[in-house]
A and B are shown apart, each in its own frame.
Chain A
């Protein structure tokens, strides 16, 4: 069973608008990560938020974490056509190992 589930599955916005993607998970976690994947490429790490953090910023990215609701959101402000990609959340499922579990992803299209 998947630990993380992104919502929506697909999102299409105009350039300059903000894009918000959500991730829900089932078990307790130590941290949650967001990754980006351009079509046909490997994943690139965007941001990691620990379970004792509520919000984190990196450039135009803002991530929030609500452990009581077992959910996280990724906000991309002032989107650009180059932000077109798939975005995945990944959680460690609170295990003692270093493996993470990826959700199915949100496909974001930013229209110029």
Chain B
């Protein structure tokens, strides 16, 4: 079964802690993305990566960090510098190329800061 998975589904963090959200895909996609979604709103791009060992900041990268050591994996760390991290986080992947940029999404991780 090909797909994209995220874990955990729910995550609780104390203020001042860093947490890492997992995203794995077995679709052989080159590009991977992290989005943040706040209640009743659209998606905002945090980081994206088009190739292993390379990634670019999106619109709201402050307080977040990523790595892309393997094609299949694109973990997101929410650092203590992110002042309002409570949100729904979505990971996506796609093939490269304008004609093929349909994105496949994972089920999401809901992060709550206690």
Contact = CB atoms under 8 A, between A and B. Distances in A.
Given A41-B107, A41-B108, A42-B107, A104 B90 contact: no
B6 to A, nearest CB: 8
A60 to B, nearest CB: 19
Interface residues of B, number: 29
B85 to A, nearest CB: 18
A104 B41 contact: yes
Interface in A68-112: 88, 90, 92, 96-105, 107
Interface in B68-114: 88, 90, 92, 94, 96-99, 101-108, 110
B11 interface: no
Contacts of A50: 99
Interface residues of A, number: 27
Nearest to B108: A42
A7 B58 CA distance: 25
Given A41-B108, A104-B42, A97 B102 contact: no
A100 B103 contact: yes
Contacts of B105: 42-44
B60 interface: no
B58 A99 contact: yes
Interface string B34-64: 0100001111010010100000101000000
A14 interface: no
B45 A99 contact: yes
A43 B103 contact: yes
Contacts of A92: 98, 101
Given A45-B104, A92-B98, A99-B48, 5 more contacts: A33-B102, A43-B105, A97-B48, A98-B96, A102-B35
